[in-house]
Amino acid sequence: MGATHEIDAYVAGLPAWQRDLATRMRALIHEVDPDIVEEWKWSTPVFAHRGQVVAIGAFRDHLKLNFFKGASLPDPTGLFNAGLEAKTSRAIDVVEGDALDEAALKALIQSAVARNG
């Protein structure tokens, strides 16, 4: 089974709020970079373009967007709220009911893709 099918199955198996959010995040990632490639690594959806950009992980009470080189990205709106002690990565943890600034998220994704040069 290819990565896209693995990711489809992963997302389909999530609780409704996580499924809806993961579906929206996946769409935003592809909207920002139509050339992004979906990979299935560590039992997690990973999106790559000239290197790993971001992963989406579901946990019991939150959905995590992990930016592999997040520590080197500008985050003027303060979306990064997890993994702040990591040397290279940064994450955004979203719990049910959280509103996410899609424009700021798109800017982060653009920066992450550009960072991979």
User: CA torsion sign, 64 to 27 to 105 to 47?
Assistant: positive
16: tokens are 């409704």
pLDDT number for residue 117: 78
- Tell me how many domains the chain contains: 1
Residue 1 has pLDDT above 80, yes or no: no
| Structural domain boundaries, residue 74 | 3-115
pLDDT in tens, 33-68: 999 999 999 999 999 999 999 999 999 999 999 999
User: The domain that contains 68 carries what CATH number?
Assistant: 3.90.1150.200
